[in-house]
Structure 1
């Protein structure tokens, strides 16, 4: 299939690739691989292009067969979902002792937000706005994964998403391009370190290329359709940032782009990725995405395998179409030997850079597995990370923090389920050693607080729905008695307490892959429990578990305090206790807008204006861009999050009102902690290009700083703006900054901020 695109001079993102002399190390690698490839048969080269699964923690329905026999015949280049040094060593021994050329195997795993020690889900980590912390979590994940024999991590996911119906919004960094790029860089640094050949670093795999987070209707694997301007301005930058940071590999997405699925999209994989961006690493498909091109309507397995290879795909995950059909396609002139060799070379180069040719067993050290996984230091970092991701959504009358005394009733279906604390995409989590919320709180609080608990309600009223929402060992027991009977029993428990903590929301697998939802309310049966708890007259705190923005309009109106804890990982329970009882002041800020109802979706802060905008003081105006039944504002705007203290912002000070091509402007505010607690604030800077040659967003994040202040302390927070911060891709897809008026906003979120103006000359 050949798809024609209008030829445009894409200067965007593309840095000039200047020829330079090869380093001695590169020259040595090239000679080694050239010599090796001269010895390889066609079948052995095709074997390198074949990635299979060992059947351990698989993420699809297909499972590879006859793996051992294929290793001996050099028909496997990589294996994923196999862990522990002993198992990996046995497989590697087959490759290096019983195959003809002794080429080592590459071992990969979905290491998304931790390996055994699980950190908060990625959407939660982004809510910390703490890049050093995010890098540290990735570093620990790499240490633990490599200690168990893994060399390749399918992370980070950098897909921008503005539709919370899409379950995999939990796996990324939310709706913003700028923040998503910063998180991507931090993850790459943490996973890969400074040296891929080090035994405690992994090759990162950026996913999913591209635009996967914009699936139609928020339904997983669905089509994506958008303009080139939106792609380059809003969706592609995080991928490019990750690659510029040195990411070794990239994974294609399931969706189609301009009518061609990503896995077979030559414009995407060759024109953009290779030619414009200069990427020199390896490209792998997602799970059976080559085979799935058949259902996309692109042909049979032989045809779609040839299409994918010719498009620029190097490695076929699980489908084995490359292994079984490319030899025939080569004989028929449908693929070239040159392209097969190129794909094989990228895979061999990765193995060389990881040090596998030097020592195939360097990642099979059982002492490391015993001593470097699930350590006290790693668990302490997981607990700290979780506390920094929690977002205080509401805190009327200073309901929080709680005092460390009396009796607390922790009630709800998420109260006592340790297996749900790690969240989705924690395939290597040790559920047996993951405390539930109640268990973690008891351990953290000791005998200072008496804790009672009750399930209170089922997760959802529909048993079949609950089964779908608690897969992969995340089971929550059901109580088949009438709802009223369960709630009444929970109320009897609540009556014995001074404070009620309602542990409600989603189970971990209600978000994640293939977990799209059309309704984003807290399930009705849980809402009924919450209403009954509020009627007791006792203080109620909603501890909200979720992997996505939910519609919490009723809860915002009626519940005194709401703490969104997402899914905080291994140490969730202890971290929740730390925040609820004031040992840690919450500082998280949401990175995906919370709508008032699903009818507002997609809703995001960096939207374009319309020719008929709603007046700022209006609710509904005829012939304006609005709804009849709800206003245009979100429930919680991007960047929103409260603290136990209060922060006051001064007006913005600019050191110059004019910015020149080679100049800079310093924008500053004085931030004061005016409350009663020490705390951290995420100071956010946005800009608006007032007049442009194409329509421009009403605001764009261009800077942020996380600032710690003791109570009563003040500090000047400075941001430096240059012309680079003002550039965008215009109608000709040229990366430009256009002279004219700009607004700059600094504040506590995308809605509540101060404003100043300057001119770009």
Structure 2
């Protein structure tokens, strides 16, 4: 620690130390100023550069020690220019894009005085009923780890004191994405192996990337609420991994220890949280307590000093002691052309083509129909957007502006949630009069994000009926699916000519959707989460573990079998295996699924070494997979080559496949290229009371999707 921090700590009163360990939600300006004069160390954005400067001036010029404030804000996928939701960013399989979007958000936020964001979400999410899957990077630990590290680098850059950098927060530590039933704030009963192999790796990747802070989760893990979980907060995060930043609580997470049933009252909750390793409480609970409740005899002075040092060190790294103010004339309040171009490209890049019979891109029809709530809705920003984020337009307006030569019929058909189908008949009549019908459906932003768990993942309202009715006319029907999570599409997916998932795409989503429809951009994303066939399948991750009775055929129990009862259905073949009697095997669309408008062929994969030593540095490249890829189309396109690993025989059960590498390549029409993916030793490791690479056979499965991979053998000795 610096001499400045040592000096400040030696001069601080106990009350001033406690003040540095709290962040308070947006009080009115007078209350905020009063709290700062009492020693409050952090607050939420006021929100403007002028207002931030005014509050910083109170901290720096009107307090005894002049310690500047940390100014926090939930900058999740954009400040002014709203990027696609993180789940969409994950679908791009492009860490550099994630870094660039985070850097854009940091630049805009820091210009207004924000210095601390509560992002990225590092939770591995395998239950799409949980609304917060929109805020994360999906179901795979390895992909999530890469993208979390990229987002941290984008927010923080190489120098936290730079005018385009803010402190990042990896959240929610840990297991929040594993809550029972996909219900927000729910508990998770996780083994040490599940934590180590699935849920902890993205947080460790954030720590390796230098993340400034980590947020404790609302959830409990195996009976211990995370805000009081000393083993994970202190022994693993701080001691084992050497994390020297700030651990911040989630909103009222410390107070929640009381209804969790592990704390007698708020004072007890505060004491438990700080003892467990929390450094900053979010909500201001310590400031509301009687001083005697958190006096040096009730809180460990050494623990408090450690927490204060971490907070002060973060402020020092941000350069706030030298430059606590921002130039209000330089505050970015609206998107510029470059930021709009970036988020527009990102929205297209993360879109996933589920299937296509050739109807996309649209072949310049003279007359087409736009129907569904997202034909005219401007609700494209997604969850976790501040009120001052730049709004989006509508697809109908964008298409009219871009193609005034087209005869565009617009019929809403149905809205998002209404039970009425009054508009379906008009949409059907219009569909019979056009060359192609584009049905734009999905979840409104309010149905995803925090406190937005759903038990039914079909399209809300009467949207499925609209799709089926339009498709039944015989007019080629294209579905554009706008959503913050994987949905159940089994009720209509086989009836439409093409379907593309565009997620909540942000400020420039309508422009990106029109780009995709017209073929000006490729829907070149891959699914970061599997789409289930039914809610009853969930969780259905691609990386499920081997079972002793794997199924080879799916269930075929249908209405025709009801008269024979459950003891004698027609699907007795392979009955005593791990499957559902009434569903085909696997998800509707697996993790990694997707394609663009261009078509690609793959040669046979090769490896640089088929045998490698089991022991050695984790980051050492032990083999490189290479494969020749050829663009067979008459247009430029992107291919995403994916490498999955199968551990043939291991000491503990392993996933049937797990992602260990990928590469995105853009190829011109007819172009061929050799794609090479280096594999470090660590991707071959398993957790069994510690990470290790076991000697034995492995299979590498290489291809554009799980369903199209080719296998090649390697061996560790």
What's the TM-score once normalised by structure 2's chain length? 0.94
Q: Deviation of residue 586 (structure 1)?
A: 1.6
1:618 and 1:215 map into 2 onto residues whose CA distance is: 28
- Change beyond 3 A, Cα 1:65–1:90: closer
The alpha-carbon distance between structure 1 residues 130 and 528, as it changes in their structure 2 partners (threshold 3 A), is same
Distance 2:340 2:410 in 1: 25
Contact 1:740 1:759 (8 Å CA) reproduced: yes
How far residue 452 of structure 1 moved from its aligned partner, in angstroms, is 3.0
- 2: distance between equivalents of 1:754 and 1:646? 17
Determine the structure 2 residue equivalent to 1:306: 271
In 2, the alpha carbon distance for the partners of 1:72 and 1:440 equals 50
Residue 15 of structure 2: which of 37, 43, 49 is its match?
43
Q: 2:644 aligns with which of 665, 679, 686?
A: 686
SS at match of 1:665: strand
Residue 313 (structure 2) pairs with residue 360 (structure 1):
no
Could you tell me which residue of structure 2 aligns to residue 382 of structure 1? Answer: 343
Note the 1:5-154 alignment, pairs <5 A.
Answer: 30-54=2-26, 66-74=31-39, 76-154=40-118
User: What is the rounded CA distance, in whole Å, between the counterparts of 1:354 and 1:149 in structure 2?
Assistant: 11
Report how far residue 486 of structure 1 moved.
1.9
The equivalent position to 2:548 in structure 1, one of 608, 611, 615, is 611
- Retained in 1: the 8 A contact 2:92–2:524? yes
Matching of residues 556-571 of structure 1 within 5 Å: 556-571=493-508
Corresponding residue for 1:440? 398
Equivalent residue for 1:472?
none
5 Å-filtered alignment, 1:430-509, equals 430=389, 433-443=391-401, 445-461=402-418, 483=421, 485-509=422-446
CA distance in 1, matches of 2:146, 2:57: 40
Q: CA contact under 8 A between 1:126 and 1:389: conserved in structure 2?
A: yes
> How do 1:228-377 and structure 2 match up within 5 A?
228-298=192-262, 299-318=264-283, 320-325=284-289, 327-331=291-295, 333-361=297-325, 364-370=326-332, 373-377=334-338
- Cα distance in 1, alignment partners of residues 459 and 211 from structure 2: 38
Contact 1:121 1:567 survives alignment (8 Å): yes
Shifted more, 521-530 versus 654-663: the winner is 654-663
Quote the residue 1:659 is aligned against.
612
Separation in 2 of the partners of 1:331 and 1:386? 52
Q: Give 1:17's aligned residue.
A: none
Retained in 1: the 8 A contact 2:77–2:84? yes
Q: Is the 8 A contact 1:160 1:173 kept in 2?
A: yes
573, 587, 591: which is aligned to 2:528? 591
Deviations 1:287-328 (A, max 9, x none): 11011111101220000000001001011111x222233842
| 2:681 corresponds to | 723
How far 1:697 sits from its partner (Å)? Answer: 1.0
Whole-angstrom CA distance in 2 between matches of 1:331 and 1:575 = 57
Pairs aligned (count):
695
Counterpart of 1:714?
672
Following superposition of structure 1 onto structure 2, how do residues 206-245 of structure 1 map, counting pairs within 5 Å? Answer: 206-245=170-209
**Contact 2:367-2:434 within 8 A present in 1 as well:** yes
Is the partner of 1:543 in helix, strand or coil?
Answer: strand
Q: Which residue pairs with 1:426 in the alignment?
A: 385
Q: What is the rounded CA distance, in whole Å, between the counterparts of 2:482 and 2:368 in structure 1?
A: 19
CA contact (8 A) 1:422 1:429 kept: no
Could you say what secondary structure the match of 1:741 adopts?
Answer: strand
Query: 1:622 Cα deviation (Å)?
Result: 2.2
Counterparts of 1:327 and 1:337, CA distance in 2: 14
Q: Is the 1:330–1:337 contact (alpha carbons within 8 Å) kept by the matching residues of 2?
A: no
CA distance in 2, matches of 1:658, 1:486: 63
Please give the per-residue CA displacement for 1:227-267, whole angstroms capped at 9, x wherever unaligned: 10111011110011011101001111000012111111111
**Inter-CA distance 326–308: structure 2 relative to 1 (3 Å threshold):** farther
**Distance in 2, Cα, partners of 1:315 & 1:607:** 37
Which stretch has the larger CA shift, 654-663 or 110-119?
654-663
In 2: Cα distance, 1:720 partner to 1:149 partner: 41
Q: Are 2:67 and 2:321, in contact at CA under 8 Å, matched by a contact in 1? A: yes
Counterpart check, 1:701 vs 2:663: no
Give the 3-state SS of the residue equivalent to 1:553 in structure 2. Answer: coil
After TM superposition, the structure 1 stretch with the greater mean CA deviation from structure 2, 421-430 or 349-358, is 421-430
Q: 1:628 to 1:276 in 2, by over 3 A?
A: same
What displacement does 1:672 show?
A: 1.4
SS of aligned partner of 1:683:
strand
> In structure 2, what is the Cα distance between the partners aligned to 1:744 and 1:600?
27
CA distance in 2 between partners of 1:82 and 1:332 (Å): 32
Which stretch of the first structure deviates more once superposed, 193-202 or 515-524?
A: 515-524
Stretch of structure 1 that moved more, 587-596 or 64-73: 64-73
**Residue of structure 1 equivalent to 2:628:** 670
CA shift at 1:429, angstroms? 4.8
2 CA distance for matches of 1:617 and 1:223?
A: 32
Distance 2:388 2:127 in 1: 28
TM-score, normalised with respect to structure 1? 0.88
Residue of structure 2 in register with 1:646 after alignment = 599
> 8 Å contact 1:82–1:109 — kept in the other structure?
no
Q: Is the CA contact 1:49–1:323 (under 8 Å) kept in the aligned structure 2?
A: no
Structure 1 stretch 618-627 or stretch 517-526: which is displaced more?
618-627
Q: State the partner residue of 1:394.
A: 355
525-534 vs 684-693, greater mean Cα deviation: 525-534
